[in-house]
Amino acid sequence: TDAYLKAMEAARGLNAYVAETPEKAREMAAASDARIATGEARPLEGIPLGIKDLFCTEGVHSQAGSHVLDGFKPTYESTVTANLWADGAVMLGKLNMDEFAMGSSNETSYYGPVISPWRSNANNADLVPGGSSGGSAAAVAARLCAGATATDTGGSIRQPAAFTGTVGIKPTYGRCSRWGTVAFASSLDQAGPIARDVRDAAIMLKSMASVDPKDTTSVDIEVPDYEAAIGKSIKGMRIGIPKEYRIDGMPAEIEEMWQKGAAWLKDAGAELVDISLPHTKYALPAYYIVAPAEASSNLARYDGVRYGLRVDGDDIVDMYEKSRSAGFGAEVKRRVLIGTYVLSAGYYDAYYLRAQKVRTLIKRDFETVFADGIDTILTPATPSAAFGVAAMSTASPIEMYLNDVFTVTVNMAGLPGIAVPAGLNAEGLPLGLQLIGRPFDESTLFQAAKVVE
Ligand code: GLN
């Protein structure tokens, strides 16, 4: 813990942490030492972790990367972090993120961008770590924690993991409790770990996952020993290669990595099967209707009365307006506007209802291939390697949304997906592959990911 606290101090330039909690960390570490001394160590005893700022942590900074939650210190603990502490983990601090988890570059954060510890060998420009869990990915990659919590609504665990050469898994919807994680789009949000390797991710997820009476969408199903799946042979595993993920304009380096990954799995005994997921191309536009719709509803609670920032006004409506205008950043405002528009009486059927129908079709595509005996699906995790900081000012919102083209399908269908590093491109930057699994079958993902790693 002391070594990590020192490393964090030395690497403040990366802006990965928005709050450091050294006193709490030392106190927790001392308690862990005592347990280890008496032979009562729990599964994560003394392991120092970073926590995405989206998770409520009792008495500690929890602002979801937003100014609107200014000064918010919850009086309660999220279920996921409570599970980690109950297993002996140590909290180092809270990690930077896109505001309310809306973004793909960590540049929508009120606290400013996170700088990736990776550099291209072609130039010395600062690169983004991806988003929205950019602080989590950068901190794991720069060794500023042993592992980090993260969340994924449309790719926010898997894309930053791919950009930083780390492993990130979004488990099946319902695997982790959402209680105490600030809501973005409740039907899509899931917590998961970002870790250095597949084994660490398996160990962390085991601890984070649980059924929880405080979240009725969490599912009462056994959490297997994920670590036991690692190293198991994949002989005979049927791995689907979906043709719709070979999109126009995909860089050659992504295509090559995908083929290399498939070859590794084949060499290890898997059977590669060409499959079709015909509604894939509708996933991204449908996601950018469903997610903002739910966000506009979830974010209605930030009114200057209940939490954080209040800007006084002439009357209560004026106070609401001033607080929300000052508290939310541009991307969050854009999502709230899109969301209220697609939910409005005149457009509900044309946009929101239609997007929900598309969502069902996407889910059925996956159900069909899994019913045909496919065990897992291999795709690239992202359409490119990490890009430069300042992308938000040069790229249009739609260009930024295109980052999520390979990841959003998984959230729309509620399935588990893992991003695993698959090597470096010519510039020396990491590229990641994605494996998609059957509902609640994260074990198969860990098993296959270990072969790619
Ligand atoms: N980049 C996507 C978005 O901005 C996904 C974010 C996430 O998964 N939280 O909505």
Task: Give me the residues paired with residue 339 across strands.
Answer: none
Does 404 contact ligand 1 (Cβ within 6 A)?
yes
Which atom of ligand 1 is found nearest the CA of 331?
4
Does 291 contact ligand 1 (Cβ within 6 A)?
yes
Sign of CA dihedral 277, 283, 286, 291: positive
Does 103 contact ligand 1 (Cβ within 6 A)?
yes
- Mean pLDDT throughout 252-267? 98
Does 132 contact ligand 1 (Cβ within 6 A)?
yes
Active-site residue flag, 52: yes
Does 191 contact ligand 1 (Cβ within 6 A)?
no
Confidence of residue 10 (pLDDT cuts 50, 70, 90): very high
Confidence of residue 130 (pLDDT cuts 50, 70, 90): very high
Of the candidates 98, 238, 217, the one whose C-alpha atom is nearest the C-alpha of residue 156 is 98
- Contact in structure between 173 and 279 (CB atoms under 8 Å): no
- Mean pLDDT throughout 380-393? 89
Of the candidates 15, 9, 1, 110, the one whose C-alpha atom is nearest the C-alpha of residue 48 is 1
Helix (H, G, I), strand (E, B) or coil at 323: helix
Confidence of residue 412 (pLDDT cuts 50, 70, 90): very high
Distance (angstroms) between ligand 1 centre and the Cα of 133 equals 9
- Checking if the pLDDT of 396 tops 90, the result is no
Give the helix/strand (H/E) hosting 274. strand 271-275
- Checking if the pLDDT of 417 tops 90, the result is yes
- Based on its alpha-carbon atoms, the radius of gyration of the chain, rounded to whole angstroms, reads 21
Of the candidates 273, 100, 68, the one whose C-alpha atom is nearest the C-alpha of residue 181 is 100
Distance (angstroms) between ligand 1 centre and the Cα of 104 equals 6
Q: Check residue 395 and give its pLDDT.
A: 81
Active-site residue identified among 52, 170, 206, 450: 52
Q: Check residue 399 and give its pLDDT.
A: 85
Which atom of ligand 1 is found nearest the CA of 152?
8
| Cα gap 187→289, rounded to integer Å | 13
| Cα gap 265→235, rounded to integer Å | 9
**Portion of the chain with pLDDT greater than 70, in percent:** 100
| Cα gap 74→307, rounded to integer Å | 10
- Contact in structure between 418 and 445 (CB atoms under 8 Å): yes
| Token code pair at residue 242 | 């979906």
- Mean pLDDT throughout 228-253? 96
**Portion of the chain with pLDDT greater than 90, in percent:** 96
Does 101 contact ligand 1 (Cβ within 6 A)?
yes
Distance (angstroms) between ligand 1 centre and the Cα of 416 equals 16
Does 410 contact ligand 1 (Cβ within 6 A)?
no
Which atom of ligand 1 is found nearest the CA of 403?
1
Q: Check residue 381 and give its pLDDT.
A: 98
What does CATH list as the number for 1-217+232-453? Answer: 3.90.1300.10
- Mean pLDDT throughout 28-44? 98
Q: Check residue 420 and give its pLDDT.
A: 98
Confidence of residue 442 (pLDDT cuts 50, 70, 90): very high
Helix (H, G, I), strand (E, B) or coil at 239: strand
Active-site residue identified among 66, 104, 156, 443: 156
- Checking if the pLDDT of 393 tops 90, the result is no
Average pLDDT over the chain, rounded to an integer: 97
Active-site residue flag, 344: no
- Mean pLDDT throughout 275-299? 98
- Checking if the pLDDT of 76 tops 90, the result is yes
- Checking if the pLDDT of 368 tops 90, the result is yes
Which amino acid, one-letter code, is at 341? Answer: Y
Which atom of ligand 1 is found nearest the CA of 151?
9
Q: How many CA atoms lie within 13 A of 191 on its CB side?
A: 33
> Residue 198 to residues 143, 202, 426, 442: CA-CA distances in angstroms?
16, 6, 24, 12
What are the tens digits of pLDDT across the range 314-341? 999 999 999 999 999 999 999 999 999 9
Ligand 1 mutation pick, 104, 190, 284, 333, max ligand atoms within 8 A of CB: 104
- Which ipTM was obtained for this model? 0.97
> Residue 150 to residues 23, 168, 217: CA-CA distances in angstroms?
23, 8, 19
Which atom of ligand 1 is found nearest the CA of 157?
8
Of the candidates 80, 75, 70, 71, the one whose C-alpha atom is nearest the C-alpha of residue 58 is 75
Helix (H, G, I), strand (E, B) or coil at 130: coil
- Mean pLDDT throughout 13-41? 98
Confidence of residue 394 (pLDDT cuts 50, 70, 90): confident
Q: Global pTM?
A: 0.98
- Checking if the pLDDT of 397 tops 90, the result is no
- Mean pLDDT throughout 130-156? 98
Residue showing tokens 């995405």: 52
Which amino acid, one-letter code, is at 370? Answer: F
Q: Check residue 165 and give its pLDDT.
A: 98
Q: What are phi and psi of 110, to 5 degrees?
A: -60, -25
How far does the chain reach from its first CA to its final CA, in angstroms?
27
Which atom of ligand 1 is found nearest the CA of 288?
10
Q: Check residue 400 and give its pLDDT.
A: 87
Does 81 contact ligand 1 (Cβ within 6 A)?
no
Active-site residue identified among 104, 105, 116, 132: 132
Distance (angstroms) between ligand 1 centre and the Cα of 289 equals 12
Active-site residue flag, 363: no
Q: What is the Cα 245 distance to its own chain's centre? A: 20
- Checking if the pLDDT of 390 tops 90, the result is no
Distance (angstroms) between ligand 1 centre and the Cα of 157 equals 9
Distance (angstroms) between ligand 1 centre and the Cα of 4 equals 29
| Cα gap 75→54, rounded to integer Å | 15
| Cα gap 355→289, rounded to integer Å | 7
